[in-house]
A and B are shown apart, each in its own frame.
Chain A
């Protein structure tokens, strides 16, 4: 089926481009990381002051604009919103906090595995567990509610911000901060990263590639379609890592990673849990935001704020490990996301009973 070729092709493209971006200067095992790169952007605009992770990543801009452009070309740009924006904002924050305790979004998790970083396996186990837990809530009646068509202007705001950020990257005004050392100081040439972002944005929009969706569909409806994208990224990133010498098998001394298995597991569990309740991983949120979904645009803002909180409150892990603040934050995150899940179901049941005329709305 054409469909299947599309998702495998997109995964292959992503895996290959990620390895090449490292080759051309991006941080090791971080050719693409949606969480890390949003975090770098938060730093670049001064939302946090972690000196080693501040850079305006054109990849993120490319994802949003790539999806925006192709959605216009295929008449799929539809401006919708109103599906629990506040809840999405907070789930976005926690998705980011979890990812930064693991040190990577689900996409980087796959790239880390493909580069031989065995710590990412604990992350994968956590991610799958998180998606399965979140799916139980969906089965039990969790829903963020339907979205509605909105005034078209709403859909143009985030793409416009993306263009402004791109201008800032190129012009480099004084108020934009660029790391002088650490991962934030490692980057491939702007034009390459922007192009890679645009290409991935376009193909991800066409194929609907999503890490969380892959695990969810496989578990919930036994449909392997999206997981093929996931596997394709892994296979092609692995091949290219072996080819270009970036492959290094083991737990110790992996680039921009720590070896605390429990917190790799729990960090990714929180990220997967929040992602499935949101209906998509960080990459997917950017693509949806590009095609006019303002709920996903708000999730992006949540992730941006989550990144700032992570570094301002010292929640994010470092290669040395996870600090006490990060551990407490993950536990609070798991409790709060669960509380959101349970209360959402409760309120949905009440609403349903009112609609059925079984109880009187007070």
Chain B
């Protein structure tokens, strides 16, 4: 698989990250739980990794279901580029 840019969604708790995975998977979208990338934060929680194309839908699902997330970052395949805070 060719590594592409991806979005990382961070949460205030591990439990919310797990709920997020369940919710997004249930909607038929691809999501993978990963440790919060070191470049984003020195904290050691769990984050959700999704494809940038799915971001709009994912946002909408979270809003509808009342699932609060902390931030959304875009991580570039090009390692020299710093992660970008989307929201």
Q: Is A255 an interface position by the 8 A CB rule? A: no
Question: Are A217 and B42 in contact, CB atoms less than 8 angstroms apart?
Answer: no
How many B residues face the partner with a CB closer than 8 A? 17
Report A64-82 CB contacts with B as 1/0, cut-off 8 Å: 0000000100101000000
- A350 CA to B54 CA in the complex, in Å? 32
Q: Is the CB of B44 within 8 A of A143?
A: no
**Which chain B residues lie closer than 8 Å to A207 at the CB level?**
38
Contact of B35 with A226 in the complex, beta carbons under 8 Å: yes
Which residues on the B side are within 8 Å of A356 (C-beta)?
66
Q: Which of A145, A225, A288 contacts B35 (CB 8 A)?
A: A225
Name the contact of B38 in the complex, choosing from A3, A288, A291 (C-beta under 8 A): A3
Total CB contacts across the A-B interface at under 8 A: 57
B residues in contact with A213, CB < 8 Å: 44
B16 CB contacts on chain A under 8 angstroms? 143
Q: Do residues A217 and B35 form an inter-chain contact, with CB atoms below 8 A?
A: yes
User: Which of B15, B18, B35 interacts with A223 by CB under 8 Å?
Assistant: B35
On whether the beta carbons of A217 and B46 are closer than 8 Å, the reply is yes
Q: Does B62 contact A (CB under 8 A)?
A: no
B78 CB to closest chain A CB (Å) equals 14
- A336 to chain B minimum Cβ distance, whole angstroms, is 21
Tell me, yes or no, whether B34 is within 8 Å of chain A by CB. Answer: yes
Contact B44 A280 (CB under 8 A): yes
Closest to B38 in A: A3
User: Which B1-44 residues sit within 8 Å CB-CB of chain A?
Assistant: 12-16, 18, 33-35, 38, 42-44
Q: How far is the CA of A3 from the CA of B44 in the complex (A)?
A: 13
Q: How far is the CA of A205 from the CA of B43 in the complex (A)?
A: 9
Q: Does A139 contact B15, Cβ atoms closer than 8 Å?
A: yes
Residues on A with beta carbons closer than 8 Å to the beta carbon of B43: 288
Q: Distance in Å from the Cβ of A1 to the closest Cβ of chain B?
A: 9
Interface residues of A in 177-218 (CB under 8 A from B): 205-208, 210, 213, 217
* Residues of chain B lying within 8 A (CB to CB) of residue A288: 43
Question: A221 CA to B45 CA in the complex, in Å?
Answer: 11
**A residues 219-267 with Cβ under 8 Å of B?**
220-221, 223, 225-226
Closest to B68 in A: A146
**Is the CB–CB distance between B15 and A141 below 8 Å?**
yes
Q: Which residues of A contact B35 (CB under 8 A)?
A: 217, 221, 223, 225-226
Does B44 contact A279, Cβ atoms closer than 8 Å? yes
List residues of A (270-312) whose CB comes within 8 Å of B's CBs. 279-280, 284, 288, 291
In the bound complex, CA of A223 to CA of B44 (Å): 13
Find out whether the CB atom of B46 lies under 8 angstroms from the CB atom of A355.
no
Complex contacts, A225 vs chain B, CB 8 Å: 35
A348 to B, closest residue via Cβ: B15
Whether A138 sits at the interface, judged by CB under 8 Å, is yes
Given contacts A208-B44, A210-B44, A220-B46, A138 and B38 within 8 Å (CB-CB)? no
Q: Can you name 28 A-B residue pairings with CB atoms under 8 Å?
A: A3-B38, A71-B42, A74-B42, A138-B14, A138-B18, A139-B18, A141-B15, A143-B12, A143-B13, A143-B15, A145-B12, A146-B13, A146-B70, A207-B38, A210-B44, A213-B44, A217-B46, A220-B18, A220-B33, A221-B33, A221-B34, A223-B34, A223-B35, A226-B44, A280-B44, A284-B44, A291-B42, A356-B66
Can you list the 4 inter-chain pairs with the closest CB atoms, starting with the nearest?
A146-B12, A143-B13, A221-B33, A143-B15
